[in-house]
């Protein structure tokens, strides 16, 4: 297998750095598909990062039919500085910077290198996220609604066999996974964990799902249960509510809660306690995630809720 100009021999595990990205590649003894696993696009989403690190330790290239490339921390500045969603080097959100720019800011150059080195090798990309330091979230998968019927159906089938209970159709196009689907590479975004913490239970659950994905792609044959998760719901319509101005955010719900049309979900107030924005459910819905921060800036995400 080759990534850029780096050659990895059959049965070999190799660390690599190409441009602004680093990771570990496993070239299977037998040929097959290539799975790319990315994490740390957002530096405070720890379950995905820890899961990626465990997989790097556990996987054995000798036993694979195909290849696996794992980049555990793509936004290293954001990760080591412990900030939410952005890189501290240029204040940009890597998951909004696709397509990248070879001559752009540091985050735009990372996006460019992901496209240049990871996209061409991938038969499937899973990008691991979670609720960030300032978010509560129910585990879910985003998959592409806007990249054609075949892409939607293929990724939906894979998502439907994961342990998370929500899969969310998305029309995004400027993120790592969503832009990949625009380039006809099957991809999805997996979210688990929240609030800037990670737990052993969450890491083990996420790791099992990634092993299932490898099994579905034919890279391993270890007998993981890849039957359809009958509890999983498909969210076809999502309301993403942003703050209309700077303010103090008071949510009245929890992630995973079922709410009725017209129900009060939260209020944005000014420092004097006057209401600036009242958020009410536009339809019966499940709460997918919401912001925990008391102080929020204009345009910050407050809450996302969706319906089947």
Query: What is the contact surface with Zn ion in residues (CB under 5 A)?
Result: 42, 45, 129
Tokens of 276: 């600036």
CB of 42 to Zn ion, least distance (A): 4
CB of 289 to Zn ion, least distance (A): 10
Contact call for residues 155 and 186 (beta carbons, < 8 A): yes
Cα–Cα dist 79/75, whole Å: 6
Cα–Cα dist 91/144, whole Å: 27
**Which lies closer to Zn ion via its Cβ, residue 134 or residue 229?**
134
**Which lies closer to Zn ion via its Cβ, residue 45 or residue 115?**
45
CB of 198 to Zn ion, least distance (A): 14
Residue written as token pair 């990249």? 147
CB of 93 to Zn ion, least distance (A): 9
**Which lies closer to Zn ion via its Cβ, residue 28 or residue 130?**
130
CB of 86 to Zn ion, least distance (A): 11
**Which lies closer to Zn ion via its Cβ, residue 23 or residue 40?**
40
Contact call for residues 278 and 264 (beta carbons, < 8 A): yes
CB of 41 to Zn ion, least distance (A): 6
- Looking at the DSSP bridge assignments, the partners of residue 76 are none
Reply yes or no: is the peptide bond before residue 199 cis, omega within 30 of 0: no
Neighbouring C-beta atoms of residue 270, cutoff 10 Å: 12
Contact call for residues 154 and 91 (beta carbons, < 8 A): no
**Which lies closer to Zn ion via its Cβ, residue 83 or residue 259?**
83
**Which lies closer to Zn ion via its Cβ, residue 93 or residue 165?**
93
The separation between the first and the last C-alpha atoms of the chain, rounded to the nearest angstrom, is 41
Cα–Cα dist 167/94, whole Å: 22
CB of 88 to Zn ion, least distance (A): 16
**Which lies closer to Zn ion via its Cβ, residue 42 or residue 167?**
42
**Which lies closer to Zn ion via its Cβ, residue 109 or residue 129?**
129
Cα–Cα dist 37/214, whole Å: 11
CB of 270 to Zn ion, least distance (A): 29
Cα–Cα dist 3/120, whole Å: 8
Tokens of 25: 């590649």
Cα–Cα dist 171/286, whole Å: 19
CA distances, 257 to each of 49, 253, 254 (Å): 27, 7, 6
């Amino acid at each position: 297998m080759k990534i850029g100009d780096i050659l990895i021999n059959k049965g070999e595990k190799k660390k690599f750095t190409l441009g602004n990205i680093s990771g570990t590649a496993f070239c299977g003894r037998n040929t097959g598909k290539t799975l790319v696993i990315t994490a740390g696009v957002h530096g405070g989403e720890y379950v995905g990062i820890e899961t990626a690190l465990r997989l790097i330790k556990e996987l054995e290239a000798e036993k694979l039919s195909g290849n696996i490339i794992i980049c555990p921390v793509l936004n290293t500045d954001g990760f080591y500085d412990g900030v939410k969603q952005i890189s501290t080097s240029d204040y940009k959100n890597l998951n909004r910077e696709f397509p990248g720019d070879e001559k752009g800011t540091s985050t735009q150059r990372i996006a460019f290198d992901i496209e240049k080195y990871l996209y061409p090798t991938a038969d499937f990309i899973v990008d691991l996220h979670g609720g960030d330091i300032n978010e509560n979230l129910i585990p879910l998968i985003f998959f592409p609604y806007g990249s054609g019927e075949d892409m939607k159906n293929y990724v939906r089938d894979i998502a439907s066999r994961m342990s998370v209970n929500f899969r969310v159709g998305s029309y995004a196009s400027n993120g790592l996974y969503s832009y990949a689907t625009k380039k006809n590479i099957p991809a999805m975004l997996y979210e688990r964990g929240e609030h800037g913490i990670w737990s052993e239970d969450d890491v083990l659950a996420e790791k099992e799902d990634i092993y299932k994905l490898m099994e579905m792609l034919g890279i391993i044959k270890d007998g993981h249960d890849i039957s359809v998760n009958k509890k999983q719901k498909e969210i076809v319509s999502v309301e993403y509510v942003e703050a209309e101005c700077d303010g103090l955010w008071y949510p009245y719900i929890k992630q995973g809660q079922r709410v009725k049309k017209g129900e009060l979900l939260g209020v944005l107030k000014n420092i004097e306690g006057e209401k600036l924005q009242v958020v009410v459910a536009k339809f019966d819905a499940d709460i997918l995630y919401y912001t925990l921060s008391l102080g929020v800036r204009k345009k910050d995400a407050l809450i996302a809720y969706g319906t089947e």
